[in-house]
Amino acid sequence: MVVTATRTEEDILNVPRSVTVIEREEIEEASLLSNNLSTILGTLVPGFGPPTATGSTRAQSLRGRPALILIDGIPQNTNTSFSTELFAIDPSAIERIEVVRGPSAIYGNGATGGIINIITRRPAEEGFVSEASLSLISDLVNLEEEGFGYGLQYGFSGREGNVDFRVGASFDAERASFDAEGDRIPPNGLSNDNRLLNFLARVGVEITDEQRLELSYNIFNNDFDSNFISDRSILQIPDLQKARALEVGNIIFDESPQQTVQNLNFTYRHDNIFGSQLNAQAYYRTTDLTQTINDIRATFPPGAFPDAPRLFQTNLDSTSFGTRLQLDTPFSESLSLLWGIDYNSEENEAPFNALDLDAFDQRREARIIGNPTQTPFYSLDSLGLFAQLNWDVSDRWLISGGLRYENITADIDDYTASPFSNIAGSPPQIEGGRVNADDVVFNVGLVYAATPNVGLFANFAQGFSIPRLSTVLGFLPAGTNIEDSFSLEPQKVNNYEIGVRGIWDDLQLSLAGFFNESELGSALIVDPTGFTDVVRAPQRNYGVELTADWSPVERWQIGGALTWNEGEFDAQDDGSYLALSSVEVQPLSFTLYVENETLPGWRNRLQALTVGSRDRAFEDGVDQFNIDGYTTLDLISSLRLGSSGRLELGIQNLLNEQYFPVDSQERIGIQEIRRYAAEGRTISLRYTTTF
């Protein structure tokens, strides 16, 4: 049963679109190799970009377009472009992940690429249960003390009468990362040289047999303060270089580099209000991010961008609250209507921390002396009204379809543009204003049950969104009328999809093809310096996704997934399409695994990930780089100890392959200091016990 695709519980064979479900067992297994959700999803979800070097979703689109990321239905995306949404929860706190590929008229909220809904752990079915684990991880290429790390996790849950509860906490200690050549990888501000702390608490009350209240709170802190930075001297070396670490000692920060995300969620369910089921949700989320130091003193020629700080940190302060109210009204056993309202209010601000050069050079003090604009303060309100009809026409045919009215309003204060917006002088003053966009989107889907195990589906769905204002507002020219700016125009995406799913005892497979288009997309062009420009132009994306899992004989399982997607945009709006950047459309990727229960209670899994090459965008002049393919191999071994213990071994990058992930290969020019190599061979050992 899945809930995200339809907002109600539904058998996956009855869902007229592509859905991937990652269960708790798969999450535990994948987190042994990496507790980075970007890596887990990039390995397991077709249509999603391959794992990145940093964990940022900058080069991880879903079918070439942005995905809406939810935690228990709470939006994690901000309208800014920091791409750190997956650093909001630890895998130990996750029960399952449901990924709906393609735009959604059911959820709205700018989900033009699809939806990734992370569902947190639930209480035990009965009694009181505790779970504890200890993880050890070490680099196997350069066996330095700093390459060793550990993780601790403890949680308990239970039920008492009509009350159930769950509390869990996890901690991962700081550990340096080394590439396959034994060189230390510079801290990237997200996924290495960091400390992670997660705490989840939830309590639910069954008021009556038909009513339930639930309150949950999750906080995730990622502290990435480090004694190392990325060495800028590589910019003086001809040809492309890999980023290398430079030790600068302990830095005293006014604002320490870290990200803290908090989610507070309140839900109420009533199974019978005049024959309808009511689900109501109210939520609150905060994201506070301060990134690592950027030193650009040798980046630009003298006199360029005179008001821009040469030493700075970037920040994000984002707050969101909202509510969802929906009713599922059955008219008969075969016909029902889901209808309701969604509201979300968001406030964002992203200033620079300009730092004192002398204090940093002489005393390693990151002392803040100013806060120039990166993205000005603005608020964003979205309101959605929706209705979705589901009709079981017969035992074989199912039809669903609905409408959604979406209204998005952004209020922007008067502000000074980014100091990087004017190369020859001071940034312009921009008069604020209100930007409003609204439209009606609809979807229709058809499922045909060819047999009890095979379902064919076809789907048309629309998505509606406004651009990320952070990529636009800071660089608007003087005299811009915000309320009539072409750069802020919304986009509407039409998505067409057909597919087939089959579920048998020893075989599960799915195959889907899609095509989507929009009259006004947001395409990226990468210039020789490594910076990107946004081009608003017609855009189209298309591709094929295949997954298969097969148990040919007892104790053996083989499976994998294939993702191929492409896309173009019409920069001149004259019918001459250019390939989309590899930042947006990732190369063909293929995963393959073989798993065997070698002995009762002892399972071994060997898995490979192959990422292909891509040069279309380079040949069209959109990118200044090619993507070179690579293959990695991982090993996972799990041994059950007694009735409650489990010992697991994981080896990541088993063959110690030296390569650069896709998001590193696009770092050229002055961005070369972010051209991080992938981590070399690492070993993880974890013991888990339940009592």
pLDDT for the residue 448: 96
Give me the residues of the chain with pLDDT under 50, please.
none
pLDDT for the residue 80: 82
pLDDT for the residue 226: 86
Domain ranges of the chain: 12-690
pLDDT for the residue 1: 74
* Cα 409 from Cα 345, distance rounded (Å): 10
CATH homologous superfamily for the domain 12-690: TonB-dependent receptor, beta-barrel domain (2.40.170.20)
The DSSP secondary-structure symbol of 46 reads: T
- 589 and 609 in contact (C-beta within 8 Å)? yes
The neighbouring-strand residues paired with 348 are: 318, 378
pLDDT for the residue 98: 94
HSE-up (13 A, CA, CB side) for residue 11:
13
* Cα 354 from Cα 294, distance rounded (Å): 10
* Cα 74 from Cα 85, distance rounded (Å): 12
Q: How many helices (H) and strands (E) does the chain have?
A: 5, 36
- 250 and 227 in contact (C-beta within 8 Å)? yes
| Long-range pairs of 652-655 with CB within 8 A, sequence gap ≥ 24 | 652/33, 652/34, 652/679, 652/681, 652/682, 652/683, 652/684, 653/180, 653/678, 653/679, 653/680, 653/681, 653/682, 654/681, 655/681
pLDDT for the residue 479: 85
Residues 6+ apart with CB under 8 A from 459: 16, 17, 102, 443, 444, 445, 446, 495, 496, 497, 498
* Cα 373 from Cα 371, distance rounded (Å): 7
What pTM does this model have?
A: 0.93
pLDDT for the residue 176: 87
- 677 and 658 in contact (C-beta within 8 Å)? yes
